[in-house]
Amino acid sequence: MLKESQIKNLWLGVTVLVMIGVYPPWKEFGALEAPLGFASIFSPPVLSEEAKARGINRIDIDFSRLSVELFLGIAATVALVLSARGAAVSAAPSIEGEKRQNAPAAGSPKPVAAEPLPPPNTVTVELQSNESIGEILVESEEDADYWEPLCKARGTFYLPRGKKLQLELAKDRRVDLALLKRFPTGYLHSIDGEGSKITDDDAEKIASVTGLKELDLSGTPLSSKGVEHLRSLKSLEKLWLDNTLIDDTCVPALISLSTLKKLSLEGTSLNEIARESLKKDLPESTELKI
């Protein structure tokens, strides 16, 4: 918005330009000289009979009036330019002031974006975000023996309530199984570590998972020392230790798992005495594969 002084300058400039058009710099030269009124800019006006009667013999440019009009035109142009620049400068502080008003004060905490709400009927799990420890699968509603992919076990994710869930460990690298403590109690139904790079120390971390029902450690470098850690899995129902490094010394630990319904030890170095001991001391309902 222009100020009052700027509006006055604008009107003054317009008035000067109009006056220059009304009174162009033509002048009668003769006995009685007088400036002429409006004339075409393409050619000078023609002498009238009345002018000839007054002794006027020619029409020429009135350089005095031209100089005055040129000065007024330049002054009007400068005034208009300054008015426009003043309007821009006066508007700038208001814009900057609005920015400063909207900007947070120095030293004040930055506004924190609201965290998204978790989906209904889920529980939140927060793990490290740099790499995944594996993949979360959910039991298929159509086939209880089939697991469907749910999400990567990385960063923040959500586990559905009332569903059987499996953690399939990454097989291409060692993972930090201490993160299993961040899973809510009773949510992991199964851990599939087949072919993974877990060690006997990792078995101790797996044994801390409360409510675990199924555990597959086939094809891993697990030894009998690692099996000792599994004694604390009091609710374990299915255990696969095929093609591992276990020997006869793990038999007592296996027998202590009284809730086992299935135990697979194919491809291991258990001797005949250990095999017979397992057949004898495990519950008769336990499906044993050696």
Question: Of the candidates 134, 125, 172, 173, which has an alpha carbon nearest to the alpha carbon of residue 152?
Answer: 134
Do 49 and 186 sit in the same domain of this protein?
no
Q: Map tokens 């409360």 to a residue.
A: 210
Do 85 and 145 sit in the same domain of this protein?
no
Do 97 and 183 sit in the same domain of this protein?
no
Do 278 and 134 sit in the same domain of this protein?
yes
pLDDT of residue 117: 81
**57: three-class secondary structure by DSSP:** strand
Do 203 and 236 sit in the same domain of this protein?
yes
Do 84 and 174 sit in the same domain of this protein?
no
Do 144 and 26 sit in the same domain of this protein?
no
Do 86 and 126 sit in the same domain of this protein?
no
**pTM of the entire structure?**
0.61
Strands (DSSP E) contained in the chain are 26-30, 34-35, 56-61, 122-126, 134-139, 147-152, 156-160, 165-169, 188-192, 214-216, 238-240, 262-264, 287-289
Q: What is the CATH number of the domain that holds 229?
A: 3.80.10.10
The domain of 43 spans: 4-102
Phi, psi angles (nearest 5°) of residue 196 = -85, 180
Residues composing the chain: 290
Query: Residue 205: inside a domain, yes or no?
Result: yes
Give the residues of the chain that fall short of pLDDT 70: 1-3, 5-6, 9-10, 17-18, 20-45, 81, 83-115
Query: Residue 138: inside a domain, yes or no?
Result: yes
Q: What tokens appear for 202 in the block?
A: 């990792």
Based on C-alpha coordinates, what's the Rg of the chain?
A: 48
Query: Residue 11: inside a domain, yes or no?
Result: yes
Q: What contacts 149, CB < 8 A, 6 or more positions away?
A: 135, 136, 137
Do 88 and 161 sit in the same domain of this protein?
no
Do 55 and 199 sit in the same domain of this protein?
no
Q: Quick check: 188 and 166 in contact, CB under 8 A?
A: yes
Out of 69, 102, 135, a domain closes at: 102
Q: In what helix (H) or strand (E) does residue 263 lie, and over which residues does it extend?
A: strand 262-264
Question: Of the candidates 217, 288, 204, 219, which has an alpha carbon nearest to the alpha carbon of residue 251?
Answer: 288
pLDDT of residue 96: 58
Give Cα 161 distance to the centre of its chain. 28
pLDDT of residue 43: 56
Q: What contacts 95, CB < 8 A, 6 or more positions away?
A: none
Q: Map tokens 């194919």 to a residue.
A: 266
Q: Quick check: 256 and 231 in contact, CB under 8 A?
A: yes
Query: Residue 249: inside a domain, yes or no?
Result: yes
> Number of folded domains in the chain?
2
- How does DSSP classify residue 94? H
Do 66 and 126 sit in the same domain of this protein?
no
Instruction: Report the distance separating Cα 164 and Cα 138, nearest Å.
Output: 6
pLDDT of residue 100: 62
